[in-house]
Amino acid sequence: MSNISKSPLILGIDPGTQILGYALLKGGPHPELIEMDVLKLTKEKDIYARLEMIHVKMVDVIQQHHPTQFAIEAPFFGKNIQSMLKLGRAQGVAIAAAMQFKLPVTEYAPKKVKQSITGNGNADKEMVWKMLERTLKLTKQPKYYDATDALAVALCHWYQISGPVLPSVKGLKGWDAFLAKNPDRIKK
């Protein structure tokens, strides 16, 4: 059986060397948030100690929850080179932890994640949160957007592996015909 089962458990990561966001999302007809949090690294000054902290945390989360998929946000261009190098190292350490447990790894550009969640690749973090809140029926916004960004990565991955949202419906004329043919799509 493949790792993409009916209800995969996706670990989404927003990599960072100061704050790393992570979220676990259970896929299915109605995706469900399992856990969303951040790893704060700012108290540790040594970059290598921070990388070790990332690895230890990723291993801990993987061993505790047993995700079947690993999705991570790719670094975006435009920051200074030193920041990109540090972010790439953090991303590499998180990916190495996933590979240690033979998890399939998928990387998404920030614009792809935003486009997938909001329909706008240039959406700001507040717009992404509002769509996550609405889509997943969340009630409490986390303190850090790094956590919601990680959840957005996980949900983006779910959208990518679960196929099209709407089935092909040829020959229907208007919403009334669509709703008559698809009563299960109506939320009550």
Would you call 184 a catalytic residue per the annotation? no
HEC sequence for the chain? CCCCCCCCEEEEEECCCCEEEEEEEECCCCCEEEEEEEEECCCCCCHHHHHHHHHHHHHHHHHHHCCCEEEEECCCECECHHHHHHHHHHHHHHHHHHHHCCCCEEEECHHHHHHHHHCCCCCCHHHHHHHHHHHHCCCCCCCCHHHHHHHHHHHHHHHHHHCCCCCCCCCCCHHHHHHHHCHHHCCC
pLDDT digits (tens, 9 = 90+) for 172-183: 567 777 777 777
Active-site hit among 126, 146, 149, 176: 146
Residue 129 dihedral angles phi and psi, to the nearest 5°: -60, -45
Q: What is the pTM of this model?
A: 0.83
Total count of domains within the chain: 1
Show the tokens assigned to 138.
Answer: 């969340």
Q: What is the mean pLDDT of residues 111-129?
A: 95
Q: What is the pLDDT of residues 129-171, one digit of tens each?
A: 999 999 999 999 899 999 999 999 999 999 999 976 554 445 5
**Catalytic option among 37, 73, 124, 176:** 73
Assess if residue 90 is contained within a domain.
Answer: yes
Does residue 79 surpass a pLDDT of 50? Answer: yes
Distance CA 12, CA 147 (A): 9
The answer to whether residue 13 is domain-embedded is yes
- Indicate whether 4 belongs to any domain: no
39 lies in which domain range? 9-185
R_g (Cα) of the chain, nearest Å:
18
Please report, for the domain that includes residue 138, its CATH number. Answer: 3.30.420.10
176 catalytic? Reply is: no
> Would residue 2 count as lying in a domain?
no
| 73 belongs to the catalytic site | yes
14, 60, 124, 133: which is the annotated catalytic residue?
Answer: 14
178 assigned to some structural domain: yes
